[in-house]
Amino acid sequence: MTLDDLRVFVAVCRAGSLSAVARDLGCTQSAVSQHVKRLERESGASLLERQPRGVVPTAAGRILCEAAADGIAGLDLALRRLGDLVDGDGGSVRVTTGGTTVQHFMAEAIVSFRHRYPKVSLEFRTETSSRDCFDALLSSDLDLAWITVAGSVRGIEQRPVFDLPWVLAARADDPLAARAHIEVSDLADSHLVRLPPNSTSGGLLEEAFRELGVGAGSNTSVADWDTALLLAELGLGHAVVPAVPGLPAATENGPLRLVPIPSLPPLSVGWAVRRWDALSPPARAFADIVARGTAAEPVLAGDVPQSRR
């Protein structure tokens, strides 16, 4: 068996599809199948089970996939570190994260990092959820993933950086916008603009609502926090979002207010890596610079004079 056989097999197990992996690799489905068949001959075991909507690993396949994934991740890290040694102070730092994370958490850090490491390239790969970031981190040569922290993940080390309080985004002319803070029960009759429940942050918010016994309605779903804010500003509903750095300031004459919801547990966000001790010095430096960053905090409703109070 070859390293390519193992890489392809791990990719098939994660994608659940031979054809999807073939498209990603730019080869035929038959070529992907040959990699798997070679592993089956070498191991003497059936590794994949065909189902109507794709393939899933057998019990033997799961054992091989987990071992191969761990080994490939370690080898990729070693190759990256060797490359950094050859390049001296050059090389690259590869980061996977959501579409708006760079704007909210990393803009100032990128400038600082560039001054400190002018020869190191920064590469960003956008994913739609923390779960996708984990998969990308495990299956490629990425260094860092910026994720929502929510439970352990096999083969991943997580380091929380910020705990973000939740706020309600409401139009300035909305009755709730005049409050210094609100309770979750105040949202029982609201129509919320929500993140998809399959996103980590959206799932945590839904769980918090259930634990507090509140079932707010929703007829609008968005893929990111910035879009939720825009729809709230347009009057399509309230949006419950974490108070990420760089949210639009709630000025007295502005269209939007951000009202704290103290009863909701904060959202923890931070870094995920395969192994902290295997990070290159530039990758570790970038992670530290982001963690030390002090972007401007959003102006909440309680900070703005309200003539209606």
pLDDT in the model for residue 248: 60
Measured distance CA(65)–CA(167) in Å, rounded: 42
Measured distance CA(246)–CA(250) in Å, rounded: 11
pLDDT in the model for residue 226: 84
How many residues belong to the chain?
309
The CA distances from residue 73 to 65, 144, 159, in Å, are 12, 13, 19
Q: Which parts of the chain sit beneath pLDDT 50?
A: 250-251, 295-296, 298-299, 302-309
> Are 279 and 287 in contact, with CB atoms under 8 Å apart?
yes
Q: Is 61 left (phi over 0), alpha (psi -120 to 50) or beta?
A: alpha
pLDDT in the model for residue 296: 44
> Are 8 and 21 in contact, with CB atoms under 8 Å apart?
yes
The residue type of 226 is: D
The residue type of 132 is: D
Q: Is 35 left (phi over 0), alpha (psi -120 to 50) or beta?
A: alpha
Helices (H), 88-106: 101
Report helix, strand and coil shares of the chain as percent, to nearest 5.
45, 20, 35
User: pTM, whole model, 2 decimals?
Assistant: 0.67
Helix (H) or strand (E) holding 12: helix 3-15
The CA distances from residue 71 to 10, 60, 139, 156, in Å, are 11, 17, 11, 13
Measured distance CA(240)–CA(278) in Å, rounded: 38
Measured distance CA(273)–CA(276) in Å, rounded: 6
Tokens standing for residue 264: 């909701």
pLDDT in the model for residue 235: 83
Burial of 301 (0-12, 13-18, 19+ CB in 10 A): buried
pLDDT in the model for residue 1: 82
Q: What does the pLDDT look like over 161-210, one tens digit per residue? A: 999 999 998 888 888 888 889 888 888 777 788 776 667 887 888 888 77
> Are 218 and 228 in contact, with CB atoms under 8 Å apart?
no
Report the candidate in 202, 254, 251, 253 with the shortest Cα–Cα distance to residue 223: 202
Burial 18-42 (b: 16+ CB within 10 A, else e): bebbbeeeeeeeeebbebbebbbee
pLDDT in the model for residue 174: 87
Q: Is 297 left (phi over 0), alpha (psi -120 to 50) or beta?
A: beta
